[in-house]
Amino acid sequence: MIETPEISCPACGSVDVEQTENEHIAQRPYGGPIKMRILVDRCRACGVDGDFHGANDQVYTTADYLARLSATRPMIDEMNAKGVDDLTFERVIGLEFGTLKKWREEGCSPAEFALVYLAVQEPRMVSALDDTHWWRT
């Protein structure tokens, strides 16, 4: 237990707040479960508990990043297996050559991750938008 006199209770304003560190397992819709340490504030005066001052925001942001990072490479590989290669995806979305290689190694933003996720779910969407088909036929 950590004493934190500078934190006040959002419900009653008391500064008689104790803080405990708990292990929490976050299950994201992708990647494996992410184990993290979160801080829980508890007001000794009124019993309210929670994250009174956003101490866990960075913990959740980091957990999300790690979940995306671990899931990006297998998801791009799955997209490739469903017939959408890196070049086609990059051309259709308007990304620089080599972007998917970078995402595999360094991870990507939530929006970029969502694009790959959609391509995995509906690879025909990417193929339908590939305008190189128009002049090939």
Binding of residue 7 to Zn ion (CB under 5 A):
no
Q: What is the spatial distance between Cα 74 and Cα 130, in angstroms, rounded to a whole number? A: 23
Binding flags for Zn ion, 29-48, as an x/- string (CB under 5 A): --------------x-xx-x
14 contributes a contact to Zn ion by CB under 5 A: yes
Q: The sheet that has 2-3: what strands, in order across it?
A: 2-3, 17-26, 34-43, 49-50
Q: Does 4 bind Zn ion (CB under 5 A)?
A: no
Least CB distance from residue 60 to Zn ion, whole Å?
24
How far is CA 12 from each of CA 7, 20, 36, 126, rounded to the nearest angstrom? 12, 19, 29, 54
- Positions that interact with Zn ion (CB under 5 A): 9, 11-12, 14, 43, 45-46, 48
